Amino acid sequence: MRPLPKEPVYLRDRVIGAARPAICIPLVATDREDALEEAKNMVSLSPDVVEARADFWSESSSLDAACALLSDVRQILGDIPLLLTCRKKEEGGYRHIDQDKRISLYERAVAMGIADAVDVELSCGQEVIGRVKEVARSYGVALVVSFHDFDAVPRNMEIVEVLEREFEAGADIAKVAVMINSHEEGLELLASTLEARRRYTKPIAAVAMGEMGAFLRPLGCFFGSDLTFASSGRASAPGQPPFEVIKRYMDMLFGFVE
């Protein structure tokens, strides 16, 4: 049995922190028509969560257009929870979007009832995170606070410290995504994930990136990560495996708990 958080997060009828870890598929189409078609394809896969990566969308330059697209995606997904992310360019975003525009998108989407969770980078700082946290809490929306390192794994328990800072900033779910360049870095991530799971009561997402990191995604869940990411075609991060592959491994590792 994998270690579980004492305070799971509920997104609609999905539990982040259940015995079987959750799989999220990012929606990364770059125009409206493709985004809607991609959302329809995702419904057939039945992921636990869909992440709307608004930084990929050409509509993201207009708040009205972005929210209209999000509303249509929300309708297509039905009861599948929607995580809204407009990623900073410096942390893997597809295009640069002004921070005020990104935060305004979160605030309006939350108020419209479109998003079940929103993702804000730890590097945005406490003032911005607190602003998003306040509006998210008022509408019962979960906050993901995230950290990404596309070079390597932070060493000497730095991952655990990053997760602690994310929870202190107000995260309901704390996320780290790091590049794996060696077997030793893979072991560092797994050990840090287990230590963090034992320390903190809320869900975590510890994601391995890169070719070497792909196989660690389901394995990391065994060590305490409650949420991982998989693609339905185009990946949103290096080494992101296809959903069918991750689900197959999840079935082997955790199918017995169902």
Listed in sequence order, the residues at least 6 apart from 184 whose beta carbon sits closer than 8 Å to its beta carbon are none
- Whose tokens are 């598929």? That residue is 25
Catalytic residue among 88, 133, 175, 202: 175
Nearest to 24 by CA among 226, 200, 201: 226
Q: Which of 148, 183, 202, 247 is catalytic?
A: 148
- In the annotation, is 40 catalytic? no
Judge whether 96 counts as a catalytic residue: no
**The pair of three-digit structure tokens given for residue 93, joined into one six-digit string:** 């975003």
Token pair belonging to 193: 């994930």
Buried/exposed 24-50: b ≥16 CB within 10 Å, e otherwise? bbbbbbeebeebbebbeebeebebbbb
Residue type, 69: L
| Burial of residue 95 (number of CB atoms within 10 Å: 0-12, 13-18, 19+) | middle
Q: Which residues are catalytically annotated?
A: 148, 175
